[in-house]
Chain A
Amino acid sequence: SQKIEQNSEALNIQEGKTATLTCNYTNYSPAYLQWYRQDPGRGPVFLLLIRENEKEKRKERLKVTFDTTLKQSLFHITASQPADSATYLCALDVGGGGNKLTFGTGTQLKVEL
């Protein structure tokens, strides 16, 4: 069956360090993968999209990698700040047209002073 796995345990890191979140998937062949941020009681906010033929994408302090052989994406936040504390969701297109997304359960990141 199809699965998207993100570390369900919260990730606690110190301010200024790099946070690395993992998204693994099985039985998917996504054309692209997306990362979203979700704050408590709010809708997700789009961060980055990476296509299957791209290895890496950057946006300010964010970096995403996409390894279609390993079926894994890594999401990095460099120079992390307490304001980066949130739940981060990865999402895959499910194919078949329509651009529907399937979301992982998310990883909660806490950046401490």
Chain B
Amino acid sequence: GAVVSQHPSRVICKSGTSVKIECRSLDFQATTMFWYRQFPKQSLMLMATSNEGSKATYEQGVEKDKFLINHASLTLSTLTVTSAHPEDSSFYICSARITGTSGATYEQYFGPGTRLTVT
């Protein structure tokens, strides 16, 4: 149980184009999902908290107009990198907390990640 998928796993795009990454909770509901970015040899950096049915909350320094987040259902959140540039090349990972009748779990279940390369 508690499986999170991401699509695509790898994407190469040209500078100036937009890329959409999907994050799905396959066997549970998630009112809250998180988007992280990880550069080589570095830790995960939280970009934003995605809340089902409401606007995402972005961390300081993350441009909300560049990284568009949509959490349209209890099992799907999307991250769109708009007008991508080479410096946006990174490993993007989503996570979700299981939402049950007594609230949400503290632990997070991560997707396998999406490797974005902008040329």
- Where the two chains meet, the residues of A that have a C-beta atom closer than 8 Å to any C-beta of B are 32, 34, 36, 41-46, 49, 89, 93, 98-106
Contact = CB atoms under 8 A, between A and B. Distances in A.
B107 A43 contact: no
A34 B43 contact: no
A15 to B, nearest CB: 26
A45 B110 contact: yes
B44 A44 contact: yes
Interface of B: 4, 6, 32, 34, 42-44, 46, 49, 57, 91, 93, 95, 97, 104, 106-113, 115
B108 A103 contact: no
B60 to A, nearest CB: 12
Nearest to A101: B108
A38 to B, nearest CB: 9
A100 B56 CA distance: 13
Contacts of A105: 42-43
B34 to A, nearest CB: 7
Contacts of B108: 46, 101
A59 B107 CA distance: 15
A46 B109 CA distance: 7
A32 B107 CA distance: 10
Contacts of B43: 89, 103-106
Given A49-B107, A101-B108, A89 B44 contact: yes
Given A99-B97, A99-B104, A44 B46 contact: no
B106 A43 contact: no
A33 B32 CA distance: 19
A43 B112 contact: yes
13 contacts: A43-B111, A44-B93, A44-B110, A46-B108, A46-B110, A89-B44, A98-B32, A98-B49, A98-B57, A99-B104, A99-B106, A100-B34, A105-B43
A106 B4 CA distance: 22
